[in-house]
Structure 1
Amino acid sequence: MRPILYLFIFLLGTLSFAQGNKAFEQANTLYNEGNYTEALNRYTSILEEGEHSAELYYNIANAHYKLNHIAPSIYYYEKALLLKPNDKDILNNIAFAKNMTIDDIEVVPEVGFSRLIKKATNIMVFDKWAKVSVVLVILFVLLFLVYYFSQSTSKKRFTFITSLSFLILALIALSFAFNSYGLEKKNQPAIVFAQESQIKSEPNLRSTEAFKLHEGTKVQVVDTVSNWKKIKLADGKMGWILNDDIKLLKDF
């Protein structure tokens, strides 16, 4: 009975995949014909069915861009970048989309030792650093066993130094893994969707206005209080924005 059930599930999954591909192709055809509104509706329906891919987000962003929807186009380009960070087509198109935004925010570059640590940490993602640390620990254990049971003085010296080196590298990789995890957890990007949003100095409507932001601007969410989110800009400015004025990029 179980093999029949597995076969049924497999066939159902294959059918759903085929239907999804057909819908995606139909949406692409509409887009190529210049029917951007209908293409967007088709892409969105695929998304609502639970399909998520860089290609789908990229095409949704393209349709929004053609319709001059500033915030949604940047939002979906950014979501595509989360799945394909170095894709040249996405990077090229998002640059065009960002030219439509009003806010001109100067990026303050990181300097010093913290910049070097962050750059080194970002060489790999958290899980890869964790795997590297596990491999290095295994190598340390194996070499230490060779050192322990070896009778040769020269071999003992070599395996001891090498195993100690692997242990140090394992600890470094582990620290990078934890640092990468921390950076990823803190990284909560969002896009402003309100045409114009008043950024407050405190999380309430009675507080003074710190500055204004407009649709399409990318921010970092650093805190949440009730229906307010504390945001940080690339230039270091901080303030409070209403939840409804932004959309988090990591909501899949």
Structure 2
Amino acid sequence: MKHFIYILVFLIGSLGFGQNEQLFQQANDLYNKGDFEDAISKYESIIESGVHSAALYFNLANAHYKLNHIAPSIYYYEKALKLSPNDKEIHNNIAFARNMTIDAIDKTPVFGFEKFAKKITNWLTFDTWAKLSILLMALFVVFYLIYYFNYGSTKKRVAFITAITFFILACCSVALAFNNYHSTKNDQPAIVFAKESQVKSEPNLRSSESFKLHEGTKVQILDTVNHWKKIQIADGKTGWIPADDIKAL
């Protein structure tokens, strides 16, 4: 009975995969014919089935870009970048899409040690840092055992220094893994979808306006109160925006 269930699940999965492949090709054909609205509908139906890929989001973003849909194009380019952060074509296209936005916001510059630490932390993912720390700790154990069971003074000295080096590197790797984890956990980007949105000083309509944002601008979500989101923009300004005006990534 279990074997029958496994086979059934496999067949259903294969059927779903085949259907999505067919839909993806149909969507690409529609895109190439200039029928961007129908292409978008096909791409979205694939996403609704639970499939996610950089190519899917990239093509969907391109279709929105062709229709001058600023916010959706940037949103899906950002989704594609999350899955393929080093793809040059995605970076190039999102740069063009960002040029359509109204808000010109200067990023807060990062200098010195903070910049260096951020670069090193993001050099690898959390999982990769964690696996590296395990490997380095295993090497520490190996060289410590070599040091412990060796009687030659020169070999003991070399093994001890190597073991300590691997131990220090393992500790650094663990620290970078946790730093990357917390950085990723606190990273809650969103895209403004409203044509224009008033950002308030407090989470209510009666409060004063802090500044305005327009569609396509990327923000960071800091907090949530009822139907309001506390956000921060690239230059460090913060405020409260209606939750319906943005879409989280």
TM-score over 0.5 for the alignment?
yes
CA drift of 1:130 comes to 0.6
1:181 corresponds in structure 2 to 181
Alignment of 1:50-89 (within 5 A): 50-89=50-89
Q: Distance in 2 between matches of 1:154 and 1:92?
A: 55
In the TM superposition, what whole-angstrom CA distance separates every residue of 1:42-88 from its partner, at most 9, and x where no partner exists?
11111111111111111111111111111111101110110011111
The 3-state SS of whatever aligns with 2:27 is helix
1:159 corresponds in structure 2 to 159
Q: Which amino acid letter does the alignment assign opposite residue 139 of structure 1? A: L
The 3-state SS of whatever aligns with 2:191 is strand
Q: Distance in 1 between matches of 2:86 and 2:139?
A: 33
In the TM superposition, what whole-angstrom CA distance separates every residue of 1:132-181 from its partner, at most 9, and x where no partner exists?
11111111111111111111111111111110111000011111001100
Q: Distance in 2 between matches of 1:235 and 1:161?
A: 46
Alignment of 1:117-196 (within 5 A): 117-196=117-196
What TM-score, normalized by structure 1, do the two folds share? 0.96
Count of equivalent residues = 249
1:32 aligns with 2:38: no
Q: Distance in 2 between matches of 1:223 and 1:241?
A: 11
1:22 corresponds in structure 2 to 22
1:223 corresponds in structure 2 to 223
In the TM superposition, what whole-angstrom CA distance separates every residue of 1:92-137 from its partner, at most 9, and x where no partner exists?
1111111111101112221121111111111101110011111111
Which range moved further: 93-102 or 9-18? 9-18
Q: Unpaired segments of 5 or more residues in structure 2? A: none
1:103 corresponds in structure 2 to 103
CA drift of 1:9 comes to 2.1
RMSD of aligned C-alpha atoms? 1.1
Q: Distance in 2 between matches of 1:131 and 1:230?
A: 35
Q: Which amino acid letter does the alignment assign opposite residue 141 of structure 2? A: V
The 3-state SS of whatever aligns with 2:206 is coil
Q: Unpaired segments of 5 or more residues in structure 1? A: none
1:197 aligns with 2:180: no
Which range moved further: 9-18 or 39-48? 9-18
Which range moved further: 171-180 or 105-114? 105-114
Q: Distance in 2 between matches of 1:189 and 1:7?
A: 40
1:234 corresponds in structure 2 to 234
CA drift of 1:33 comes to 0.6
Q: Distance in 2 between matches of 1:64 and 1:36?
A: 7
Q: Which amino acid letter does the alignment assign opposite residue 115 of structure 2? A: R
Quote the sequence identity (%): 61
Q: Which amino acid letter does the alignment assign opposite residue 99 of structure 1? A: N
The 3-state SS of whatever aligns with 1:203 is coil
Q: Which amino acid letter does the alignment assign opposite residue 141 of structure 1? A: V
What TM-score, normalized by structure 2, do the two folds share? 0.97
In the TM superposition, what whole-angstrom CA distance separates every residue of 1:166-225 from its partner, at most 9, and x where no partner exists?
100001111100110011011111000011000011111111100000000001111222
